Amino acid sequence: MTCLRVPFLALLALVSAYYSGLWPGEIRRAKRDVNILRGRCVISLCLSALPVIQTYTEVWKFPGSLYQVEYLTVAVECFGWLVHLAYVSVLCRGGACRNLRGPVLVGMVWTGVALLSCFTLHSDYLRLGSAEPLIASNLPIIFSSVRVGLLGIYLVTLIPSEHSLQSYQLLVNSGEQSPSFGVYSRFREDLEPDYLGFPMHGWSKFSRLFFCWVNPLMEKGSVGKLQNQEELYDLPDSLSSTYLYLKLNSALTPKHILVTPSMKVSLLKALHLCFWKEFYGIGFLKLFSDISGFFGPLFLHSLVQFIESKEEPIENGCLYALGLSGVSLIGALCIPHFNFLMTIVGLKIRGALITAVYRKTLSLNSKSLSKFSTGEIVNFMSTDMDRIVNSCASFHAFWSIPFQIVVTLYLLYQQVGVSFLAGVGFSILLIPINKCIASKIGQLSTKMMNFKDQRIMLISEILRGIRAIKLYVWEEVFMKKVSSKYCCHIL
């Protein structure tokens, strides 16, 4: 029976992978349909984990009781249900097939797998009287019963059809309001096949975890269809400049406090009030990434000792290998998500501050505005904003780097003893050198900003008097002035 399950499970993975790449159009399903498909995702995940748990339990309690072909079956079964999980996720988003039950071919292969699982349960039942320790423990029939039970629940989710739960599809030619759902469909140009919509909208948590929502954008760019900003993802409301400015303005001027001209308002407190949940929340991703980075070498050291000693039980080696893979996966997921979310927070801060500076510039009178040159205002919205945004990542580095140094020194002490103090002394000697370099960079940056202000102010004056310059043919004179300012900036 085991030999028959392998080709059927491999066929299930192959068919599921094929239909995962199909996209018949933009289909929006009813809420009950989405819940049913999410239930299938959970069942598929359980079916992929079940053989691994069964094998680990049997090897732990009865070492040497399994044959090599059974390990192959476990690997194929786990992989097959994981691929099927990806297929159900695509089906949940409206891909693969319009029908809630999925393509007929997938249903036929699934039926074969379910029948073989029932036959396996029957075979385990007939062997209950065997004297083998593994069979006498009833572990095979317990896991077979759980597998058949999960497949039975999966079968129940196949009973409803798309018509009974009113799934619907947005048609390109439709320009009217949907009477059954009360949703206004987009214009024809927005419903073209290459329309991307909003980023991450309608994608599952699994797809967001692995950034699968970026694939349509990359596919569109690979065929040369990204010619302007209208062909990118739509900007969410949470990133619009109006929303961010109103959020920052409400934090700067609370309604219950009367703001006077002499009253000082803290920009740092306002930014903290607006974005503290997102800003501090992503710090946990940085923490998990740092911790996983330290656990990786520890698990690798334990695995090497296990291979060299050959005295520890095989279960410990499996745990070391599983732990090494787990922490590597956690670190690989935490780092890109930390950078991505930090970029989003930086964009929100930049959008809110630039909009606030721009609106303040438009609302000031000529007397107040004359206190600032055009170059200074441009620097407010460019260089100064870059410094504020870069300080966000520096804040997390401020606590992360000392944490990494302390843990690294402790691990070095465990391995080499007090010899780690040599590295500490060398690091301390580098502190004054870094201080001198940082001070020099700060001085040069200040000079660069002054030259940049002068150059922008000169260019603004040239643009305001461009008619006189063209009339008196002074182009070369002013070009030399601009070039001299640019050379001073470079030097």
Residue 174: its pLDDT value, please? 37
Residue 461: half-sphere exposure toward Cβ, Cα within 13 Å = 12
User: Which pairs from 93-96 meet CB under 8 Å and 24+ separation?
Assistant: 93/202, 93/203, 93/204, 93/207, 94/23, 94/24, 94/25, 94/26, 94/27, 94/28, 94/29, 94/169, 94/202, 95/20, 95/22, 95/23, 95/24, 95/27, 96/19, 96/20, 96/22, 96/23, 96/24
The answer to whether residue 463 scores a pLDDT higher than 70 is yes
The string of pLDDT tens digits covering residues 92-102 is 776 656 677 77
pLDDT grade for 284, boundaries at 50, 70 and 90: very high
User: Which pairs from 352-356 meet CB under 8 Å and 24+ separation?
Assistant: 352/241, 352/244, 352/245, 352/247, 352/248, 352/271, 352/274, 353/248, 353/381, 353/385, 353/388, 354/241, 354/381, 354/385, 355/241, 355/242, 355/244, 355/245, 356/245, 356/248, 356/249
DSSP state of 68: H
| 21 against 198, higher pLDDT | 198
Residue 167: its pLDDT value, please? 39
Mean pLDDT for the stretch of residues 6-26 = 77
pLDDT grade for 165, boundaries at 50, 70 and 90: very low
| 52 against 384, higher pLDDT | 52
Task: Calculate the average pLDDT of the chain.
Answer: 79
| Per-position b or e across 168-190, b if 16+ CB within 10 A of its CB | bebebeeeeeeeeeeeebbeeee
pLDDT grade for 129, boundaries at 50, 70 and 90: confident
The answer to whether residue 65 scores a pLDDT higher than 90 is no
The answer to whether residue 379 scores a pLDDT higher than 80 is no
Contact status, residue 266 vs residue 252, Cβ threshold 8 Å = no
Supply 182's token pair: 């009360």
Residue 230: its pLDDT value, please? 80
Mean pLDDT for the stretch of residues 114-133 = 82
pLDDT grade for 286, boundaries at 50, 70 and 90: very high
The string of pLDDT tens digits covering residues 420-447 is 788 788 878 888 888 888 888 878 877 7
Residue 76: its pLDDT value, please? 87
Supply 289's token pair: 């990434």
pLDDT grade for 337, boundaries at 50, 70 and 90: very high
Crossing angle of helices 68-92/31-61, nearest 10°?
170
Q: How far apart are CA 232 and CA 18, in angstroms?
A: 27
The answer to whether residue 464 scores a pLDDT higher than 90 is no
DSSP state of 212: G
Q: 221 pairs with which residues across the strands?
A: none
The dihedrals phi and psi of 29, each to the nearest 5 degrees, come to -100, 155
Residue 1: its pLDDT value, please? 55
Q: Which of 8-17, 106-115, 128-137, 402-411 has the lowest mean pLDDT?
A: 128-137
Residue 261: its pLDDT value, please? 58
Q: How many CB atoms lie within 10 A of CB 84?
A: 30
| 30 against 208, higher pLDDT | 208
The string of pLDDT tens digits covering residues 217-258 is 888 888 888 888 888 888 888 888 888 888 888 888 766 555
The answer to whether residue 338 scores a pLDDT higher than 90 is yes
pLDDT grade for 288, boundaries at 50, 70 and 90: very high
Mean pLDDT for the stretch of residues 153-175 = 56
pLDDT grade for 342, boundaries at 50, 70 and 90: very high
| 471 against 291, higher pLDDT | 291
